[in-house]
Amino acid sequence: MERVLDGGMVRSSVAHSAYAELHAHSAYSFLDGASIPEELVEEAARLGLRALALTDHDGLYGAVRFAEAAAEFGVRTVFGAELSLGSGARTEAPDPPGPHLLVLARGPEGYRRLSRQLAAAHLAGGQKGKPRYAIDALTEAAGGHWHILTGCRKGQTEALATAGTLGCFGMSRREALWAAGQASRRGGPRC
């Protein structure tokens, strides 16, 4: 496979892989991601990945650049965000404390619902870098249009499952507890 970006030829030495990276941060995740969306897509294409999810912290900041690069390289897109559920600002220090919820949009409706919740959280937070999410609003907004991932080391899935909250995200309590248990048996959730 060959693609051209900024005048340079990129060759994939790997046949298309069934693997897709579902938790990638770009440079738009301050102090967490280092690569711009185009670089992430270029590397995914070089590795032969068929799909890539961009999950920046608390926003869809790189979505347009990500989508444009993915179209150029023939990589499928998955849009999402890692929601910071803690009370601290993401911009104050590297790896700030607090739980996360990793959300992937299931199609255009899921994207629209996620975008609305991100905007509402930033408005509710009252200052830059401190979104405030309401779990009840998130569960209502999800409406079966989101996938919630369990793999982040600061993931909130286990706590929400124990509280019975994940049912609104399209998981039964039993499914959510099973997923949380699987993560625990693997030595704990990992990013």
- Reply yes or no on whether the pLDDT at 13 is more than 70: no
* pLDDT tens, residue by residue, 76-88: 999 999 999 877 6
Q: Work out the average pLDDT over 84-113.
A: 81
- Reply yes or no on whether the pLDDT at 33 is more than 60: yes
- Say which amino acid occupies 53: A
Alpha helices by DSSP H, the chain:
37-47, 63-73, 107-125, 135-142, 157-162, 173-185
User: What pTM was computed for the model?
Assistant: 0.73
- Per-residue confidence at 154, pLDDT binned at 50, 70, 90? low
Percent of the chain with pLDDT over 90: 52
* Arch. (CATH architecture) of 2-185: Alpha-Beta Barrel (3.20)
* pLDDT tens, residue by residue, 128-149: 888 999 988 999 999 999 998 8
List the domain boundaries for the chain. 2-185
Core vs surface per residue 86-124: b (16+ CB within 10 A) or e: eeebbeeeeebeebbbbbbbbeeebbebbbebbebbbee
Residue 84's closest CA among 93, 76, 75? 93
